[in-house]
Amino acid sequence: MTENASKILESFDRLDPIEQHAVVVSLIRRSGELPTSPLTDDDLCGIADDLFASLDDEENGNNNAEDVPQKDL
């Protein structure tokens, strides 16, 4: 990962959860518009599953989004 990409992720981590959600939705939508997207449908489904699991944890008061296993792409 480049230094610029790392900085983007650091900035993302400082956003509140609502803004993080909006960014994730936008990135997923944009990834489908890339001419040669490295993300397959299975990759996107896995990312969505992780996102929904972390949102479920937040809803249930288990603010342990870090505990949700992340898929390596």
Domain boundaries, the chain: 3-67
pLDDT at 56: 86
Q: Does position 14 have pLDDT exceeding 90, yes or no?
A: yes
What pLDDT band is residue 15 in, cutting at 50, 70 and 90? very high
Cα distances from 54 to residues 6, 28, 43, 63, in angstroms, run: 21, 16, 17, 8
pLDDT at 37: 63
Model confidence pLDDT, tens digit, residues 36-71: 767 788 888 888 898 888 888 888 887 554 554 555
What pLDDT band is residue 27 in, cutting at 50, 70 and 90? confident
Quick one: residue 6, left, alpha or beta (phi over 0 = left, psi -120 to 50 = alpha)?
alpha
